[in-house]
């Protein structure tokens, strides 16, 4: 190989890859408008992005998987802990993380800033990003539950019921906790949709309910499966 | 030292080294925060985020100072011509250092752009750009005056211009978070897997050529192939950062395929280093400089090439993205490719700048092996923590803090190794700043 051949390898390699990259960049700009729902990208969302940057949240948390790795990913945080959950954590981190080995700084955000921040997270959470992160995926049930389905031969909903701590309070056929009501025959009283709604946020249905909301603990698929399982207990 | 103006480089190197030490201290604080509970009152004043911003910006600052110093050392010899202006070179060093210090102090008071690695506020960005323009002007003018163009010079200048241009994409405010990250990677990825690789390849080629006496023709031929492959795989390889940000699906293909090829140019660099050694025409005088060059080539391949390859396939990256696996790769790659490149340059140039033909390398050798062993092991402990995290948090879906509790042991091991690494760094930095001629034993 001569130096001249080497030069051509350099030139062709660089130009071909560069052309592909720039072409794809052009097309990406076009498609991102749809994938990220630009129509919902309001001024409030932008204001929220500025809040996110002002307090340097991103050097502890990741968002879309980028940033510091010291705190949970925030891509789907609204779906995971809800708007109130975010408000509580940002407003009083010293209370929210009192028992946690890892603390979040008190940064004294105004209520307006928190509201904007939530709008920003809401928007990011709806970006069509190939269903990442896996732990917040609405399509899947966890690997532990899948194992139970495969090895013990239970339904996915039963696996969720057993592995997500429902039986710490509730019982079935005399097995389980007594803090909450026994759930035998619950399907005769309520349809799956009503059960799902209740499990998601009990206080939303009955303000006096003692049961903690499960929308943080369970994925959409898990909620759906556990509701279907309970609705079949007739 | 053949030209008087090469002396400028010494001050760039001398400024870079203390920043390297400071970077490690902050790194230890970060590892400590993962291992032990930092009380709320401390977190309120000095959050992890601030320490991380300082840790990463110090890295970039000392690496860039090293590249600039290296460039100022190389171009007089390459162009056979004194630098266009020593004054600009010193002025620009002072500007960059002041900007750096202001930025770091600013972080402590929350003055930040709030985007990881690009935390420097816009006002300071402008100063950085002015400094970079002065630097490029000085380098280009030296080359133009020298009228002695070589492939090596061209690559170096090309890399530096590319570096400066890409920085511009990090400055504006983007309304759309997806587009924001899209261009964020133009700075970060295209720096480390584009512009910086061009600079590395040319500085490395220079050092190799000088140390082994292999003909320029051969060295530059390989340089062309390497940078061709670097850019071929690196440009489109940016796609491996676009899998989960809300960009179109075809990035999974582009990113997956091109980044699978990314280890090739690095492998080629290692092979041609070995080849040049075998065919060397001159005696290698300073063994340690040589050890650094080979160490850099090897750890560059492992840290950037192999570790990068391990998690760039979309099927794997779905679970490892944004976990400590990334951190493991980041540490090994930056240390192997760039920290060691700078130290190779320092060990090549600093003795010459001090007029020492053969230096006493006993302390330095200890420093090298302590740093490299500690960092390699840290790559592993971060890596294990990352795999645990990917499995517990992402596969089992047991939640972020549950995963972190299982990782704690490994982050503790990292903290311990970090202390060892610091000892290696202190040894190396002290050695470089107080190099002594080798004393020959009396016969």
Domains A40-130 and A143-231 share a fold: yes
What distance in Å separates the CA atoms of residue B185 and residue B436, rounded to the nearest whole number?
Answer: 43
Residues of A in contact with B331 (CB under 8 A): none
Helix (H, G, I), strand (E, B) or coil at A162: helix
Residue B166 has pLDDT above 80, yes or no: yes
- Between β-strands A175-176 and A66-67, what pairing exists: parallel, antiparallel or unpaired? unpaired
Give the count of alpha carbons within 13 A of B409, CB side only. Answer: 3
What integer pLDDT is reported at residue A144 of this predicted model? Answer: 66
What integer pLDDT is reported at residue B398 of this predicted model? Answer: 78
Residues of A in contact with B33 (CB under 8 A): 70, 102
| Cβ neighbourhood burial of B368 (10 Å; 0-12, 13-18, 19+) | buried
| Cβ neighbourhood burial of B308 (10 Å; 0-12, 13-18, 19+) | buried
Q: Residues of A176-206 as b/e, b for ≥16 C-beta within 10 angstroms?
A: beeebeebeebbeeeebeebbbbbbbbeeee
Lowest pLDDT segment from A69-83, B59-73, B295-309: A69-83
Q: Which domains does chain B have, with CATH numbers?
A: 285-435 (1.20.120)
Closest CB to B318 among A38, A134, A143:
A134
Residue A24 has pLDDT above 90, yes or no: yes
Helix (H, G, I), strand (E, B) or coil at B219: helix
Residues of B in contact with A57 (CB under 8 A): 49, 114
| Closest-CA distance of chain A to residue B88, Å | 33
Residue ranges of A 112-151 with Cβ closer than 8 A to chain B:
120, 123-124, 127-130, 132-135, 140, 142-144
List Cα–Cα distances, B232 to A20, A95, B37, B181, in angstroms: 10, 52, 45, 22
What integer pLDDT is reported at residue B325 of this predicted model? Answer: 97
Which whole number is the average pLDDT over B214-243?
Answer: 94
Lowest pLDDT segment from B276-280, B421-425, B438-442: B438-442
ipTM of the complex: 0.95
Residue A72 has pLDDT above 80, yes or no: yes
What distance in Å separates the CA atoms of residue B432 and residue B343, rounded to the nearest whole number?
Answer: 9
Report angle CA B428, B433, B438 to the nearest 5 degrees: 85
Question: Are the beta carbons of B36 and A47 closer than 8 angstroms?
Answer: no
| Cβ neighbourhood burial of A175 (10 Å; 0-12, 13-18, 19+) | exposed
What integer pLDDT is reported at residue B442 of this predicted model? Answer: 57
Give the percent of chain B with pLDDT over 90. Answer: 92
Residue A173 is given by DSSP the state T
User: In sequence order, what DSSP letters do the residues of B25-43 get, joined into one string?
Assistant: HHHHHHHHHHHSPPPHHHH
Helix (H, G, I), strand (E, B) or coil at B290: helix
- Calculate Rg over the CA atoms of chain B: 22
- The model's confidence at residue A143, banded by pLDDT at 50, 70 and 90, is low
Lowest pLDDT segment from A73-82, B72-81, B111-120: A73-82
Q: The tokens of B340 are what?
A: 């060691």
């390459």: which residue's tokens? B78
Which whole number is the average pLDDT over A79-88?
Answer: 86
Q: Where are the domains of chain A?
A: 40-130, 143-231
Name the fold adopted by A143-231: Cytochrome Bc1 Complex; Chain D, domain 2 (1.10.760)
Given this structure, which CATH class describes domain A40-130? mainly alpha
């Amino acid at each position: 190989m001569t130096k001249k051949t080497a030069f051509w390898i350099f030139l062709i390699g660089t130009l071909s890859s560069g052309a592909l990259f720039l072409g794809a960049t052009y097309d990406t700009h076009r498609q991102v408008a749809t994938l990220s729902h630009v129509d919902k990208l309001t001024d409030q969302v932008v204001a929220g992005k500025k809040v996110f940057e002002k307090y340097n949240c991103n050097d502890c948390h990741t968002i879309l998987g980028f940033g510091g790795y010291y705190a949970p990913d925030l891509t789907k945080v609204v779906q995971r802990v809800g708007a109130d959950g975010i408000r509580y954590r940002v407003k009083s981190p010293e209370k929210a993380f009192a028992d946690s080995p890892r603390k979040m700084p008190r940064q004294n955000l105004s209520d307006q800033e928190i509201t904007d921040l939530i709008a920003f997270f809401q928007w990011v959470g709806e970006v069509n990003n190939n269903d990442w992160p896996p732990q917040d995926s609405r399509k899947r049930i966890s690997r532990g539950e899948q194992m139970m389905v495969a090895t013990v031969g239970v339904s996915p909903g039963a696996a969720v019921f057993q592995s997500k701590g429902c039986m710490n309070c509730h019982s079935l056929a005399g097995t389980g906790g007594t803090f909450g009501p026994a759930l035998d025959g619950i399907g005769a009283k309520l349809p799956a949709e009503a059960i799902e709604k209740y499990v998601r946020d009990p206080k939303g249905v009955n303000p006096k309910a003692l049961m903690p909301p499960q929308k943080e603990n369970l994925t959409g698929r898990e909620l759906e499966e556990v509701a279907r399982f309970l609705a079949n207990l007739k | 030292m053949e030209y008087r103006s090469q002396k400028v480089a010494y001050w760039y190197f001398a400024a870079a080294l203390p920043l390297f030490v400071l970077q490690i201290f902050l790194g230890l604080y970060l590892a400590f925060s993962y291992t032990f509970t930092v009380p709320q009152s401390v977190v309120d004043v000095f959050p992890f985020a601030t320490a991380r911003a300082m840790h990463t910006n110090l890295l970039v600052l000392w690496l860039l100072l090293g590249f600039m110093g290296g460039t100022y050392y190389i171009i007089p010899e390459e162009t056979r011509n004194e630098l266009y202006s020593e004054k600009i070179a010193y002025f620009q060093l002072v500007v960059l250092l002041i900007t750096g210090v202001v930025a770091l102090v600013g972080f402590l008071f929350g003055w930040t752009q709030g985007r990881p690695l690009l935390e420097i506020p816009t006002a300071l960005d402008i100063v950085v750009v002015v400094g970079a323009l002065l630097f490029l002007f000085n380098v280009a003018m030296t080359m133009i005056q020298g009228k002695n163009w070589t492939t090596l010079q061209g690559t170096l200048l090309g890399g530096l211009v590319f570096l400066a241009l890409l920085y511009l994409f990090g400055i504006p405010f983007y309304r759309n978070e997806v587009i924001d990250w899209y261009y964020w990677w133009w700075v970060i990825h295209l720096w480390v897997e584009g512009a910086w690789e061009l600079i590395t390849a040319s500085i490395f080629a220079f050092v190799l050529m000088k140390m082994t006496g292999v003909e320029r023709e051969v060295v530059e031929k390989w340089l062309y192939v390497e940078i061709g492959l670097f850019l071929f795989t690196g440009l489109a390889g940016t796609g491996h950062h676009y899998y989960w940000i809300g960009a179109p699906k075809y990035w999974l293909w582009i990113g997956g395929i091109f980044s699978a090829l990314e280890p090739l140019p690095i492998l080629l660099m290692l092979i041609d280093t070995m080849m040049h050694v075998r065919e060397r025409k001159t005696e290698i005088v300073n063994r340690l400089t040589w050890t650094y060059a080979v160490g850099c080539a090897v750890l560059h391949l492992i840290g950037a090439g192999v570790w990068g390859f391990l998690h760039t396939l979309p099927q794997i990256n779905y679970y490892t993205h944004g976990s400590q696996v990334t951190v493991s790769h980041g540490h090994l790659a930056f240390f192997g490719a760039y920290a060691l490149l700078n130290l190779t340059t320092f060990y090549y140039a600093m003795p010459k700048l001090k007029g020492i033909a053969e230096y006493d390398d006993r302390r330095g050798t200890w420093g090298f092996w302590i740093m490299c062993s500690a960092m390699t092991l840290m790559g592993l402990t971060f890596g294990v923590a990352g795999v645990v995290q990917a499995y517990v948090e992402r596969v089992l879906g047991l939640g972020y803090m549950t995963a972190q509790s299982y990782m704690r042991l490994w982050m503790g091991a990292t903290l311990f190794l970090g202390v060892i690494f610091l000892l290696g760094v202190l040894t190396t930095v002290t050695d470089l700043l107080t190099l002594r001629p080798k004393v020959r034993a009396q016969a």
